[in-house]
C-alpha cells in the first residue's frame, strides 16, 4: 500500500481564451488539477471550497477516481470565477477579471484522514490559509506552491510557510520574487534551500520543461511532448500532482527518486495542456485507474454560507 495524499487549494470556474479558442465555465482550480494528476497513483483527500453552482461539476470531474471529497465545502455563494487570456508568446495567463465569490469565507479544517495522510500539497492561496493547513497536518512530505500576487504583498509570510515545506514548486518569476536581489534563478534557488527544511525545488519553465534543484545540484528536464498546446491552465499543479502522487505510490521521498517523479509530473502537465480545462487529465487518469476500485467517499459535503 502506498501513502495517501492531501491537497488544500482552490476550486474555481474558469473562462479561458487561448489561440486554440475560447471556453467558459470550466471547472478548475489548484486542488482539482492536482487531484486529477495524483489520483492515478494514490488516494487523494481534496480540501477546498466551491459554490453550489460548481459542486456537480467537481463530482463529475473526479467520478471513478480515488478522490475523497469529504473536505469539499459547498457554499450558498457562487464559486470563484476567473476570466483569463492565455498568451502563448510570453507563456503567461493574463487575468481579465476575477469574481471572488465564496473564496473569502473558507477556513480549512482537515478531516482526520486528511490530517493523517503522509503527503500534503499546499496549493497556491493566501499564506495565512496555507499556514492553517500546515498546522493541522502530520504529513512527512509537504509540497508548496504560491504566486507573485501573494509573494509581493506578503513575502515574509510566504517564506515562513515555504520554510516548513519539503518540495517547493515555483516558476522563475516566483522564485526571483521570493528572493529579490539574487543574480539569477539558480542563485535564488540555492538561497531558498538555505531556509532549513526544503530539500528540493521544482523550477517550472513552461515549454522549456522544469529543473529539479537540490543540495546535490541542478538537473533539468525537457517538457513532455504534446501534439498541440490548447490551454496551459493548471499545468503547474499537474506537475506537482504527478510528482507527489508517484512519490506516494512508491512510498519514497528521497532525492534519488524525485527526478523520476518529476518526469511523471511533466507527463501529467502535457496531458493537462492538451485540452481545455481538466479534460486532458481526466482522459489520462481514468484508463489508468479503471481496473482499480475507487475509494471515493461520496458523503454529503459540508455546506457553508450565510
Domains of the chain in sequence order: 5-287 (3.40.1190.20)
Separation CA 204–CA 170 (nearest Å):
6
Separation CA 284–CA 288 (nearest Å):
7
What residue spans of the chain are helical by DSSP H? Answer: 30-38, 52-62, 112-116, 127-136, 148-151, 155-162, 172-178, 185-193, 235-250, 255-273, 279-289
Separation CA 44–CA 35 (nearest Å):
6
pLDDT of 290: 55
The most distant pair of C-alpha atoms in the chain lies apart, rounded to whole Å, by: 51
For the full predicted model, state whether its pTM sits above 0.95.
Answer: no
Considering only CA atoms, which of 86, 126, 92 is closest in space to residue 108?
Answer: 126
Per-10-residue mean pLDDT for the chain, 306 residues long? 96 97 98 98 98 98 97 98 93 92 97 98 98 98 97 97 97 96 95 92 96 96 95 97 98 95 98 97 82 38 40
pLDDT of 4: 98
- Tell me whether strands 210-214 and 217-221 are parallel, antiparallel or unpaired: antiparallel
pLDDT of 89: 84
Strand order in the sheet with 21-28: 21-28, 12-18, 81-87, 92-99
Query: Cα 102 to chain center, whole Å?
Result: 20
Amino acid at each position: 500500500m502506498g501513502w495517501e495524499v492531501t491537497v488544500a487549494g482552490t476550486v474555481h470556474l474558469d473562462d479561458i481564451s487561448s489561440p486554440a479558442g475560447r471556453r467558459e465555465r470550466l471547472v478548475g482550480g489548484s486542488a482539482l488539477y492536482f487531484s486529477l494528476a495524483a489520483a492515478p497513483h494514490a488516494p487523494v483527500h481534496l480540501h477546498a471550497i466551491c459554490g453550489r453552482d460548481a459542486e456537480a461539476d467537481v463530482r463529475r470531474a473526479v467520478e471513478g477516481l480515488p478522490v475523497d471529497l469529504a473536505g469539499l465545502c459547498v457554499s450558498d455563494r457562487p464559486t470563484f470565477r476567473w476570466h483569463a487570456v492565455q498568451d502563448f508568446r510570453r507563456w503567461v495567463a493574463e487575468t481579465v477579471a476575477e469574481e471572488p465569490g465564496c473564496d473569502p469565507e473558507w477556513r480549512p479544517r482537515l478531516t482526520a484522514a486528511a490530517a493523517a495522510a503522509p503527503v500534503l500539497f499546499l496549493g497556491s492561496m493566501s499564506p495565512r490559509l496555507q499556514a492553517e493547513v500546515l498546522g493541522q497536518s502530520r504529513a512527512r512530505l509537504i509540497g508548496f506552491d504560491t504566486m507573485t500576487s501573494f509573494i509581493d504583498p506578503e513575502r515574509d509570510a510566504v517564506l515562513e510557510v515555504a520554510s516548513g515545506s519539503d518540495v517547493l514548486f515555483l516558476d522563475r518569476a516566483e522564485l526571483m520574487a521570493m528572493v529579490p536581489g539574487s543574480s539569477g534563478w539558480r542563485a535564488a534557488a540555492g538561497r531558498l534551500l538555505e531556509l532549513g527544511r526544503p530539500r528540493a525545488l521544482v523550477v517550472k519553465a513552461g515549454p522549456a520543461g522544469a529543473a529539479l534543484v537540490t543540495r546535490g545540484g541542478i538537473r533539468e528536464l525537457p517538457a513532455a511532448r504534446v501534439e498541440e498546446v490548447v490551454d496551459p491552465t493548471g499545468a503547474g499543479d499537474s506537475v506537482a500532482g504527478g510528482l507527489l502522487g508517484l512519490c506516494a505510490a512508491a512510498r519514497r521521498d528521497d532525492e534519488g527518486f524525485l527526478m523520476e517523479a518529476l518526469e511523471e509530473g511533466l507527463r501529467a502537465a502535457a496531458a493537462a495542456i492538451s485540452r481545455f480545462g481538466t479534460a486532458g487529465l481526466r482522459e489520462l487518469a481514468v484508463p489508468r485507474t479503471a481496473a482499480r476500485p475507487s475509494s471515493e467517499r461520496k458523503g454529503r459535503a459540508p455546506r457553508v454560507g450565510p
